[in-house]
Amino acid sequence: EYTYGVRFDEKSSLTLGPFEISFIKNIHPVDTYGVRIKCEDKILSYTSDTSYFEDLVEFYKDSDLLICECSFYSNMDGTKAGHLNSSQAGMLAEKAGVKKLILTHLPHFGDLNNLLLEARDYYKGKIELAFYLKEINIYTQEVRP
C-alpha cells in the first residue's frame, strides 16, 4: 500500500517522476546494487555494500552527495566480506569528484572519528559520519538531526 517494487535493468536508467535512477552491480557475496539518483542538477548516490572496484569511480562521478558504506578501518581488508574501509571510501570520493561524503554502515567497535581522519587522508572535500535520522538538504548541504 505504501511502496511497490519496480523491475529495473542495471544497464539502463529508470525514470520515476523527476528522478533519473541508475544502478551498478556491486562486488558482495549477496547481490547488492549502488544507486545514483539525479534530479534536475543534483546527484545523490548511495553505494550499499560493496568491495572497491574502479567502475565505482565513473558511476559516482560528480555526485553532490555520496552516502558510502564504510564497514572497516583503513588497516582492515573488507574485500572478501564485500565492504569498503575508510581509506577506500575516501579514495572513491576523491577520484569521483564528490562534493560531500557521508560514511555509513559503520563498524561497531573502535573510535568512529578515526574513520573520518583516515578517509581525509584521501578525500579533501566535506565529510561526515551518518547518524540515526540524519537529514541533509542536498541543495544547501544543511544537516538536521
Average pLDDT over residues 38-54: 98
pLDDT digits (tens, 9 = 90+) for 63-111: 999 999 999 999 999 999 999 999 999 999 999 999 999 999 999 999 9
Task: Please report which helix (H) or strand (E) contains residue 95, including its range.
Answer: helix 86-96
Fold of 14-144: Metallo-beta-lactamase; Chain A (3.60.15)
Give pLDDT, residue 18. Answer: 95
Average pLDDT over residues 104-121: 98
Beta carbons within 8 Å of 73's beta carbon, 6+ residues apart? 85, 86, 107, 110, 114, 115, 118
Give domain limits for the chain: 14-144
Task: Please report which helix (H) or strand (E) contains residue 127, including its range.
Answer: strand 126-129
- The mean of the pLDDT values for the chain is 95
Place of cell 568512529: 112
Q: Whole-structure pTM over 0.85, yes or no? A: yes
Q: In whole angstroms, how large is the CA radius of gyration of the chain?
A: 15
Give pLDDT, residue 131. Answer: 93
Distances (CA, A) of 15 to 12, 25, 33, 39, 56: 10, 18, 17, 10, 21
